[in-house]
A and B are shown apart, each in its own frame.
Chain A
Amino acid sequence: MMQLIWNGLIVGSFYALVALGYSMVYGIIKLLNFAHGDIYMLGAFVGFFTLSAFGISNETSIPLLLVVLLLSMVTTGLIGVGIERIAYRPLRRSPRLAVLITAIGVSFTLEYGVRQIFGPNPEAFPIRLESSGFDVLGMRVTASQIVLVVIAAVLMLVLAHIVERTRQGRAMRAIALDPTGAQLMGVNVDRVIAMVFFIGSALAGAAGVMAGAYYGSIDFLMGFIIGLKAFTAAVIGGIGNLYGAMLGGVLLGMLESFGSAWFGGEWRDVFAFGFLILFLTLKPTGLLGARVVERM
């Protein structure tokens, strides 16, 4: 029982990190960034590429993980900004359908671009956190799991600080509420949107590296399912709401953990998507989302 909760928390923190980017981008430009899951995959591959370039393999050092994490975050952040600049910005005034389709195109480009470079087979991630653990409260906990959860928590706290306390954060919230108004008040909308893409992508990249170190193997399609799951998490929490995304991620992780235990692991994804459909039907605004009247 406690074990299920703990496992759920770990997977949930991955979901939450990816969901944050989804939710932020959606909150600010109302775009479902389909390629967001692939940024997570890119994060893992950037880590893999850097470490391989230095000839590192089977490493277990946590400081090294942190360095790689930071490097990946910056790289994926920049890639996110680049994607927004090339593919999404020119289409901001286009119908939604056009932007969504573009996002699918970007997702395909990233997935199969990585496939062309690294090949279709899974790669072993060079950093492997040791799995020796200890028992607390009847659950098996490893040191690496604790490290991952702590990193995730720190990242989320930093994000919360940025959004709540800084000038840029205020600009983000202003644009989310009323883009035209924010622009009239002198907010540089383009720059803020670019920053949102940077932060969101960096978080997804971090989650990618962490997932690589945790699961040990990475492949070019690893972002697809987690992208879907993260979206589910964002919807459960209330899309556009940051705390909602965190809550939704952890909640979805737990739900899956329990769902797999009760119905069998092969039904895990069905269980998660079932929840997505259920939530969208009954409470499309999610747990923490405000009821929004759509402007005409």
Chain B
Amino acid sequence: MSALLEVRDLRLQFGGVTAVDGLSFEVREGEILAVIGPNGAGKTSAFNCISGFYLPTAGAVVFDGKAIVRAVPELWRRLGLVNLLQSFGLYRVLPSRVTKWGMARTFQNLRLFRELSVLENVTTAMHANLREGFWATLLHTPGYRRAEAACVREARGWLDFVGFEDDEQLYVTQLPYGEQRRVEIARALATSPKLLLLDEPAAGLNFNEKQALMRLIRKIRGLGVAVVLIEHDMGLVMELAERIVVLNYGKEIADGAPEVVKRDPAVIEAYLGVDESEDA
């Protein structure tokens, strides 16, 4: 039971607002973990820190034995040295590097590449794993053609895997919302992750689409990929997650199996409300 992702004492402040306040949790290999909490509990901010987009004020994140966020000496921070170094791209792990290490993510408000076709959206995500040299691309060498063909085949494999059956040459803006969600997951999978972060994957989906999403997430786990999802749909979370981390005001207030979390008084007070506990 080794930890794939370890978050320790993560803290993030914007000006005076503390978005994440000493968050610690871990994700084990191949599990489905749900992160829940009321709106503004700091879930997405925590995601952004973990995937390298935000630089947390304090804390450490270790993924697959590699440090994504390192503890920064307080003096350096005071002197503004860290900001300076980071503006040169030093002393921080870029999100692209995190993705290369095997952590993929989706966004809360769909962020597909709008002027690329469905297929191109997915092949773009294979960037880090594709070996195409500059001159090979210009000269269209056999190696380039092979890599390109393999890349397209792989992308189609992912599109089929997520159940996308429409025309792959469509622009993503022409797809219905649910299909765009699928493409976004296919795109994340194409980066070949060990851990997939899904930010509210069920938002805006209807009942059938949600059922399909749950099947898909189980299928992804079946590939040996750990899944962390932020979700508001309690039904979906309770059914799908093997473990739940509950946040409130940037702090972790519970961590455990769905049945345990459901009965946790702190959680009921902060989040689920009285009605939910009566259902159980």
Contacts and interface: CB of A to CB of B under 8 A. Distances in A.
Touch between chains A and B, by CB atoms below 8 Å: yes
Interface size class of B (residues with CB under 8 A): under 10
A293 B54 contact: yes
B87 A290 contact: no
B65 interface: no
B84 A296 contact: no
Contact of A291 (B48, B54, B83, B107): B83
Given A296-B48, A296-B53, A284 B87 contact: yes
Interface in A258-296: 281-282, 284, 290-291, 293, 296
Contacts of B48: 296
Interface in B67-116: 83-84, 87, 107
B54 A282 contact: no
A281 B87 CA distance: 8
A290 to B, nearest CB: 7
B143 to A, nearest CB: 35
Given A296-B48, A296-B53, A290 B84 contact: no
Interface string B100-142: 0000000100000000000000000000000000000000000
A281 B15 CA distance: 22
B14 A293 contact: yes
A290 B53 contact: no
Interface in B159-201: none
A282 B107 CA distance: 31
Nearest to A280: B87
Interface in B140-165: none
Contact residues of A: prevailing secondary structure: loop
Nearest to B47: A296
Contacts of A293: 14, 54
Contacts of B53: 296
Contacts of A281: 87
A291 B57 CA distance: 13
B105 to A, nearest CB: 11
Contacts of B87: 281-282, 284
A191 B53 CA distance: 35
A288 to B, nearest CB: 15
A234 B87 CA distance: 20
Contacts of B84: 282
A159 B81 CA distance: 35
Contacts of A291: 83
A284 B84 CA distance: 10
Nearest to A95: B114
A121 B199 CA distance: 61
Nearest to B19: A293
A290 B80 CA distance: 13
Nearest to A285: B83
A263 B53 CA distance: 43
A282 B86 CA distance: 11
Contacts of A296: 48, 53, 107
Interface string A80-120: 00000000000000000000000000000000000000000
Contacts of B14: 293
B200 to A, nearest CB: 14
Contacts of B83: 291
Nearest to B108: A296
A138 B161 CA distance: 81
B77 to A, nearest CB: 12
A291 B86 CA distance: 13
A284 B83 CA distance: 11
B223 to A, nearest CB: 28
A282 B54 CA distance: 20
Nearest to B83: A291
A290 B84 CA distance: 14
Nearest to B84: A282
A290 B83 CA distance: 12
Interface in B4-26: 14-15
A49 to B, nearest CB: 45
Nearest to B48: A296
B16 to A, nearest CB: 11
Contacts of B107: 296
Nearest to B111: A296
A284 B14 CA distance: 18
A296 to B, nearest CB: 6
Q: Which of A281, A284, A293 has the most CB of B within 10 A?
A: A293
Nearest to B114: A95
A282 B53 CA distance: 21
Contacts of B15: 290
Interface in A52-95: none
Interface of A: 281-282, 284, 290-291, 293, 296
11 contacts: A281-B87, A282-B84, A282-B87, A284-B87, A290-B15, A291-B83, A293-B14, A293-B54, A296-B48, A296-B53, A296-B107
Given A282-B84, A284-B87, 5 more contacts: A281-B87, A290-B15, A291-B83, A293-B14, A293-B54
